[in-house]
């Protein structure tokens, strides 16, 4: 039996299909092609970013640090949500500030951190350190402070029993461990220069293995830059000024080696402790 309402009255209609009027009071839903759905999702953050830049773009351009931070945060928020985007930018900022603090402690002019979506962040030294020992100190300061920041997030995750915070801590431990790969331009390449430059070769070979196992454009780009940088330093190794630059006292080599490998081991343990299932 079918019922339909007309002007406040309900009339009972026959269930026979030949007596039913042939009309539809709705339009059928046609699924959008995949690319249209993707474009619709992409359009919203682009419009939001455009509106923000139209209002504050002049101010941000005067502060490249803020501009790059905002753009990276917007990209990461769009990819993984607010907790992921803001948390990742904070982790990167803390890491880079470790480099900045040590560089300024050595009296070197250094830029504010610059954020590059999908590549992380970087600082620019306007003057090279005096030797490989001082360069290694700047290099390891970033992972040290960055790892401490990730540890604080992990403790907060334990205190509040938050899977999001634990996952963010895992990401922080991973970022700092990845940066310890002994290749330039990563931090590890600058650190191992004070231990033994031959470690660069192992770093390049390890990076080649990563590219083979997990190929992606970012790893390939880092491999190309690392191979070029390693080859350039290798060709210049016999120059007197280069040999003087990499001359480090044995006890300092030992100290930097303990810091480097000890931090790497702690980061592996931190990743094991903060690994959570991806069910949220």
> Quick one: average pLDDT of 44-69?
60
By three-state DSSP, how is residue 116 classified?
strand
Both tokens of 185, joined, read 């331009």
pLDDT at 169: 94
Q: Is the pTM of this model over 0.75?
A: no
Distance from the Cα of residue 141 to its chain's centroid: 18
- What are the structural domain ranges in the chain? 59-274
Both tokens of 133, joined, read 């020992």
Cα angle 87, 88, 89 (rounded to 5 degrees) comes to 95
pLDDT at 46: 57
- pLDDT tens sequence across 155-199: 999 999 888 899 999 999 999 999 999 988 889 999 998 998 888
């Amino acid at each position: 039996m079918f019922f339909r309402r007309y002007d406040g009255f309900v009339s009972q209609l026959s269930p026979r299909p030949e007596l039913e009027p042939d009309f539809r009071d709705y339009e059928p839903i046609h699924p959008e092609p995949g690319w249209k759905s993707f474009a619709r999702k992409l359009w919203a953050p682009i419009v939001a970013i455009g509106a923000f830049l139209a209002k504050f773009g002049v101010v941000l351009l005067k502060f490249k640090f803020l501009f790059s931070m905002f753009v990276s945060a917007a990209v990461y928020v769009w990819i993984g949500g607010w907790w992921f985007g803001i948390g990742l930018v904070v982790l990167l900022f803390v890491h880079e500030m470790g480099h900045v603090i040590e560089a300024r402690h050595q009296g070197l002019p250094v830029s504010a951190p610059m954020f590059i979506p999908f590549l992380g962040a970087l600082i620019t030294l306007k003057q090279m350190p005096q030797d490989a020992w001082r360069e290694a100190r700047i290099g390891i300061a970033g992972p040290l402070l960055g790892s401490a920041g990730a540890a604080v997030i992990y403790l907060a995750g334990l205190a509040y029993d938050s899977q999001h915070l634990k996952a963010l801590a895992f990401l922080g431990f991973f970022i700092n461990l990845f940066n310890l790969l002994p290749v330039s331009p990563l931090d590890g390449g600058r650190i191992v220069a004070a231990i033994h430059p031959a470690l660069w070769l192992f770093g390049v070979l390890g990076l080649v293995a990563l590219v083979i196992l997990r190929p992606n454009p970012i790893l390939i780009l880092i491999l190309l830059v690392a191979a070029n940088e390693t080859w350039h330093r290798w060709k210049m190794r016999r120059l007197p000024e280069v040999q003087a630059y990499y001359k480090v006292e044995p006890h300092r080599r030992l100290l930097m080696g303990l810091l480097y490998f000890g931090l790497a081991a702690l980061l592996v343990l931190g990743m094991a402790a903060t690994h959570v299932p991806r069910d949220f």
